[in-house]
Amino acid sequence: MNYKKLAIAALLGCTGIPAQGTDLVYRPINPSFGGDPLNGPSLLNSANAQNTFKDPEAVSPFGSQSQIQQFTDTLQRAILSRIASAVSGSVVDANGNLIPGTVTIGSISVTVVDLGTTLRITTIDSSSGQTTTFEIPK
C-alpha cells in the first residue's frame, strides 16, 4: 500500500509544476558547414590526435640513414648552397639584373641567354649530362 501512496504523491507533485522550455537552435561547429572559422584549427588538431592511421608511403626526411650519412647530406647541401650563391653573384649585376653569359664552377655551368622579353637560364652538369632549363620574364 505504501507504494500506491508514494506513486500518487509523486504524480500529484509533478502536475502542479508548469512546463517551461525554449526553442532549440542549431549552431554548426564545423566551418565547412557554416560554423565559426576559428573552430577549424581546433577541430583539425582534435582529428589528428585521434588519427591512428600511419601512411606506409611516408618517409622521414632522413629515412633510415645513419648520423654520418645525415651529416654528409647536410654538408653537401651547405656546399651546394654556397656554390649557388657564388654563381648567382657572378650572373647578377649591381642593380640586380641578370647578365647574359656563361659561368662555370667545376663540372656545373650556368648559361643565361637574353631572348628579348625573357631570360633563359640553363644549368648543365658535364659529369652526369643532366640539364635543367627555365625562363623568367625580364
Return all residues near 40 (Cβ < 8 A) that are at least 6 apart: 31
Cα-Cα-Cα-Cα dihedral sign, residues 111, 113, 118, 122: negative
77 domain-assigned: yes
Is residue 88, in this structure, part of any structural domain at all?
yes
List, for residues 33-81, the tens digit of each pLDDT value.
Answer: 888 889 889 999 999 899 888 877 766 666 667 788 888 888 888 888 8
Q: Looking at the 3D structure of the chain, how many domains does it have?
A: 1
Question: pTM for the full model?
Answer: 0.43
Instruction: Give domain status of residue 9, yes or no.
Output: no
- 115: in domain: yes
- In sequence order, the 6+-apart residues with CB closer than 8 A to the CB of 78 are none
Classify residue 28: in a domain, yes or no: no
The answer to the question of residue 125 being in a domain is: yes
Q: Give residue 125's domain range.
A: 68-138
In a domain, residue 99? The reply is yes
Q: Is residue 112 part of a domain?
A: yes
pLDDT tens for each residue of 85-113: 877 777 778 787 778 888 888 888 888 88
Cell of 98: 641578370
Q: Is the pLDDT of residue 17 over 70?
A: no
